[in-house]
């Protein structure tokens, strides 16, 4: 099959032919229909997070089941599915206490001594985030996908596979935004816009979008922002405090920078919660005022929107089909797999929400 392979950090992905194995017990072979190009993929291309090479990147996708291995019960060939990097075992402490998004998923991967799922010229090609969706097919554990209704367009469904679930889930599952509360979202890319959309669905009273690109701030209004702040026009923390009379109940950082993570905490009112969604470069530390904890301000992490994706994703599909989730406005353009490097470069400009790779049917 055709796939985009990363052989060396900092170098373009190469479109090459690789082999994919047959499904083993509990595994599912999926024909990839659509795959979003997410900023997280760029982090690994740039080496901000280490990973074994060569690897097929991609982790935001939807497709159609082609074949299943023994003991698979969740899907059958022909089913439409969304994949999720949060592959869960189902019986560890994290899973059994309702936190499957932080299960290490070790049991859903092939063990040492088994043939690799992906290979090239008899050499192992690493699978990324349990998926590797920059390829015509994916071979995954059944706990890395969820069946969805067939009337859901798969290009929009792919967006739910990461960015939408991360942003909406951060609001509903991680921070648990309360009705009528004030919310600030730093960064209006795909995840940030989904966060704004989620806050609107949750009934937040005031939603403040913060970015440096005017077109993204205009788009944020479509997703439910009641106020916008251009961070180029001055200190966004002071602007948020002025707008709200002292700070917000909830702040979300959706970029992955030290400075904006610190700003999210600084713009809180007494008792507020800052949720860090963005991937801050590996090894980097953030600094906050210790005295603020006496005011019961909180800062929390977020793993993929604290998702229970087998429950959450079908609900997000229903939200979209009911007109509540703005996926059409989130999708910047359809591209081909051969355009992957240009799409990754476009992420650096900050001007696109999501480009989606469409594979030939």
Catalytic residue set:
38, 40, 43, 59, 162
SS3 155: helix
Residues 6+ apart with CB under 8 A from 349: none
DSSP E strand boundaries for the chain: 2-6, 14-17, 19-20, 27-37, 55-56, 61-68, 80-83, 118-120, 123-124, 126-127, 137-141, 145-147, 182-186, 206-211, 227-230, 248-253, 268-276, 298-301, 331-335, 354-358
**Euclidean distance between CA atoms 60 and 251, whole angstroms:** 25
Query: Nearest Cα to 65, choosing from 139, 119, 117, 155?
Result: 139
> Under 8 Å CB-to-CB from 77, ≥6 apart: which residues?
65, 66, 67, 68
CB 196 within 8 A of CB 226: no
């Amino acid at each position: 099959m055709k796939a985009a392979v990363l052989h060396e950090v900092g170098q373009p992905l190469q479109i090459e032919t690789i082999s994919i194995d047959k499904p083993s017990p509990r595994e599912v072979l999926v024909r990839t229909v659509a795959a979003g190009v997410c900023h997280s993929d760029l982090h690994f291309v740039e080496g901000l997070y280490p990973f074994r090479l060569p690897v097929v990147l991609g982790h935001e996708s939807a497709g159609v089941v082609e074949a299943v291995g023994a003991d698979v019960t969740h899907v059958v060939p022909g089913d439409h599915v969304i994949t999720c990097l949060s592959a869960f075992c189902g019986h560890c402490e994290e899973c059994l206490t309702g936190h499957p998004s932080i299960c290490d998923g070790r049991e859903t991967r092939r063990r040492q001594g088994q043939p690799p799922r992906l290979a090239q010229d008899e050499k192992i090609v690493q699978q990324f985030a349990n998926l590797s969706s920059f390829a015509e097919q994916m071979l995954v554990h059944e706990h890395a996908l969820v069946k969805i209704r067939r009337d859901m367009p798969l290009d929009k469904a792919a967006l739910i596979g990461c960015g939408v679930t991360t942003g909406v889930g951060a609001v509903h599952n991680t921070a648990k935004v309360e009705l009528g509360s004030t919310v600030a979202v730093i960064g209006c890319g795909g995840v940030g816009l989904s966060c704004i959309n989620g806050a609107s669905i949750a009934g937040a009273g005031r939603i403040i979008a913060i970015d440096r690109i005017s077109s993204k701030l205009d788009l944020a209004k479509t997703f439910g922002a009641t106020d916008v702040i251009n961070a180029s026009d001055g200190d966004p923390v002071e602007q948020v405090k002025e707008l709200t009379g002292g700070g917000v109940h909830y702040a979300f950082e959706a970029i992955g920078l030290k400075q904006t993570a610190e700003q999210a905490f600084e713009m809180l009112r007494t008792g507020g919660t800052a949720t860090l969604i963005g991937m801050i470069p590996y090894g980097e530390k953030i600094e906050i005022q210790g005295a603020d904890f006496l005011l019961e301000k909180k800062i929390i992490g977020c793993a993929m929107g604290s998702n229970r994706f087998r429950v959450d994703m079908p609900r997000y599909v229903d939200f979209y089909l009911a007109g509540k989730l703005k996926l059409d406005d989130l999708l910047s353009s359809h591209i081909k797999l051969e355009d992957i490097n240009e799409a990754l470069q476009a992420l650096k400009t900050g001007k696109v929400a999501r480009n989606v790779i469409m594979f030939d049917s």
